[in-house]
Amino acid sequence: MEHIKERFLKYVSFDTQSDPSSSSTPSTEKQWDLANFLVEELKQIGLQDVSIDEHAYIMATLPSNVEHSVPVIGFISHFDTSPDYTATNVKPQIHENYNGEDIVLNKEQNIVLSPSYFDDLLLYKGQTLITTDGTTLLGADDKAGIAEIVTAMEYLIAHPEIKHGAIRIGFTPDEEIGLGAHKFDVEKFNAEWAYTMDGSQVGELEYENFNAAGAVVTVKGKIVHPGYAKGKMINSMLIANQFIAALPQHEIPQETEGYEGFFHLTDIKGSVEETSLEYIIRDHDMDLYEKRKKQMLQVANDLNETLGMEAIEISIKDQYFNMREKVEPVMHIVDVAEQAMKEIGIKPLIKAIRGGTDGSQLSYKGLPCPNIFAGGHNFHGRYEYVPVESMVKAAQVIVKIAELTALK
């Protein structure tokens, strides 16, 4: 526990926040700091073929220690953190033997992590929690995953009596802005399948995710002096409000769960003359996903017809697709992970991801890639935390998967 904790704390000391407005890869120069540190660490623990390319994608190999043929498998995590919340000067706090009560993250600013609001905290009574100080995110998404993979590889190297095939590991930039897999070289990685260590609660095992699109709605108006505006002014913000109201009011993130999709308004910028709305569109079912895109376009067409002008334009771009289609033909890779969890006393929680993952894009690039828990909670904000015991269990799952694969 102490070893993986200290490794994680070292990783979160690096600010690796990505930037969606950047056109470079990685999207921020500061991601290189942790990337270069990881390269040296991988060499130090004894991995082979350690490489980092011009875009900061890291790959390395743990060679097989068996003579018979074993599928090459991989484990993947990302080292960037969300652009939605600051990751500068992270000050982690350690809470040993958590008692199930409120945790004061920042007394001066009255920031409290409370089980009355985040009831999953009660799952970890008696355990050691790592939290923020309330002023930054923590970075468990996904530096916990990296710590688990590195620790598991180090353990396998130190315990050659545990038999395994060749294992490839990969660390990526820019996952948080949807670009983590875009320049990932699947052919170079050369694994039959892989697992992203990027889930949350202990036991999570996921091979389904949203189909996803981003939409930009541009509304045009006309500005004239308000004192002489009758019959002349067209206020784009009011038209934008009509557009928002015309979409299903209950199909939004805060009122949906499970397999329910949604329209999510993420940003508004407006003036009388022009208003821009940014949406994300999500659904697990491909037919419903396509229906949502058509529905948004139809709302715009109907309003334009009512207004008697082309006031609204929409641009919709697909972002990623449900990896279930690519994983179901090779479901044994999910079965191995499920068996690994059971053998070390973890109850598997097989469910659909209400989000995306590098594994989705990698699956469509030819590398089937389910997602396994990394242990963190409340990602992308000041209330993020991770139990150290959860990171240990995730590392144990990696070791057990490697062991079971060598038996197949």
Give how far the C-alpha of residue 135 lies from the chain's centroid of Cα atoms, to the nearest Å: 21
Q: 148-182 burial, b for 16+ CB within 10 Å, e for fewer?
A: bbbbbbbbbeeeeeebbbbbbbbbbbbbbbbbbbe
- 175 included as an active-site residue: yes
Beta strands in 29-174 (DSSP E): 48-52, 58-62, 73-78, 93-95, 103-106, 111-113, 129-131, 167-172
Enumerate residues 6+ apart whose C-beta is below 8 A from 115.
100, 101, 102, 121, 122
Reported residue count of the chain is 408
Give the C-alpha separation, 286 to 231, whole Å. Answer: 44
Cβ-contact 37, 48 below 8 angstroms = no
Which one of 19, 41, 80, 208 is the catalytic residue? 80
Report H helices in 247-383: 286-307, 324-327, 332-343, 358-364
Enumerate residues 6+ apart whose C-beta is below 8 A from 264.
252, 253, 279, 280, 281, 282
Cβ-contact 155, 148 below 8 angstroms = no
Give how far the C-alpha of residue 102 lies from the chain's centroid of Cα atoms, to the nearest Å: 27
- Tokens representing 359 are 């594994």
* C-alpha separations of 1 from 11, 303, 401, 402 in Å: 16, 59, 20, 21
- 80 included as an active-site residue: yes
Which one of 41, 142, 174, 175 is the catalytic residue? 175
Enumerate the active-site residues: 80, 175
